[in-house]
Amino acid sequence: MEEFEYRADHMTLDELEQITAESQFYSGVIKKLLSRGSKLVVGPRGVGKTHHMRIAYKQALTTKSKPLPIYMTLSKYLRLEPLKNSSSIAIQYFHCWALCKVLLGLKETFEHLEQDVESILTPFELKWEDLSLFCEQIEKQQVRDWHNALLDKISVRMVSNIIDDAILTCNRKHAILLCDDAALVLTKDYMIEFFDIFRALKSAKISPKASVYPNTEFGPRFHVGQDAESVPCWPSIADDEYVKLFDEIYSKRYSAEMKEDIKKCFMYASFGVPRAFINLINQFQNSSKTTVQSKLNSVIAEQAEIIMKEFKTLSTKQPQYKNYVAVGQKLINKIVADISAANKKSIIDQKQQFFLGVLQQDDYGKKAKDILLVIRLLEETGLLVRVNPVKHGKNSSGTRIYDRFIPHFTLLLNDGAYQVSKAGYASHFTELITLPKEKHPLRKNNFAEFLTDGDIDSLSLNLPSCSNCGSPRNTEEQRFCMFCGSELLNKSTFEELTSKKVDELPLTNWLKTKITEETRIETIADILFEANPAQELRKAKGVGEKKATRVIQEATRVMEEFLS
pLDDT interval class at 487 (50, 70, 90): low
Beta-sheet strands, E only, within 382-526: 384-395, 398-407, 442-444
Rounded Cα distance between 158 and 121, Å, is 10
Task: List for the chain the helix, strand, coil content (%; round to 5).
Answer: 50, 10, 35
Rounded Cα distance between 444 and 85, Å, is 44
353-411: pLDDT as tens digits: 999 999 988 666 678 889 999 999 999 999 999 999 998 877 766 788 999 999 999 99
Cα atoms in the Cβ-side hemisphere of radius 13 Å centred on 160: 15
The enclosing H or E element of 40 equals strand 39-42
First and final CA of the chain: distance in angstroms?
Answer: 24
Mean pLDDT of the chain: 89
Count the residues in the chain.
564
Residue 517: is its pLDDT beyond 60?
yes
CA angle 450, 218, 372 (to 5 degrees): 10
Residue 563: is its pLDDT beyond 70?
no
Rounded Cα distance between 86 and 494, Å, is 13
Rounded Cα distance between 125 and 149, Å, is 11
Q: What local confidence, expressed as pLDDT, does residue 523 receive?
A: 87
Rounded Cα distance between 27 and 9, Å, is 20
CA angle 483, 484, 488 (to 5 degrees): 95
Rounded Cα distance between 432 and 417, Å, is 11
54-77: pLDDT as tens digits: 999 999 999 999 999 999 999 999
List the beta bridge partners of residue 356.
405, 442
> How many CB atoms are closer than 10 A to CB 23?
18
Phi, psi of 498 (to 5 degrees): -75, -15
Residue 261: is its pLDDT beyond 90?
yes
> How many CB atoms are closer than 10 A to CB 54?
24
Rounded Cα distance between 208 and 159, Å, is 13
Rounded Cα distance between 23 and 350, Å, is 31
pLDDT interval class at 1 (50, 70, 90): very low
Average pLDDT for 434-452: 93
Average pLDDT for 10-27: 76
Question: Are residues 375 and 384 in contact, defined by beta-carbon separation less than 8 angstroms?
Answer: yes
Q: What local confidence, expressed as pLDDT, does residue 362 receive?
A: 64
Rounded Cα distance between 332 and 343, Å, is 16
The enclosing H or E element of 557 equals helix 545-563
Q: What local confidence, expressed as pLDDT, does residue 470 receive?
A: 67
- Report the candidate in 431, 381, 171 with the shortest Cα–Cα distance to residue 271: 381
- Report the candidate in 349, 359, 369 with the shortest Cα–Cα distance to residue 405: 359
Q: What local confidence, expressed as pLDDT, does residue 483 receive?
A: 73
Residue 532: is its pLDDT beyond 90?
no
Beta-sheet strands, E only, within 26-166: 39-42, 68-73
Cα atoms in the Cβ-side hemisphere of radius 13 Å centred on 190: 25
Question: How large a percentage of the chain has pLDDT more than 70?
Answer: 91
150-197: pLDDT as tens digits: 999 999 999 999 999 999 999 999 999 999 999 888 888 999 999 999
Residue 561: is its pLDDT beyond 90?
no
- Report the candidate in 80, 492, 73, 501 with the shortest Cα–Cα distance to residue 317: 492
Largest CA distance in the chain: 78
Angle formed by the axes of helices 260-269 and 242-253, to 10°? 110
190-249: pLDDT as tens digits: 999 999 999 999 999 999 999 999 988 888 899 999 999 999 999 999 988 899 999 999
DSSP-derived letter for residue 477 is T
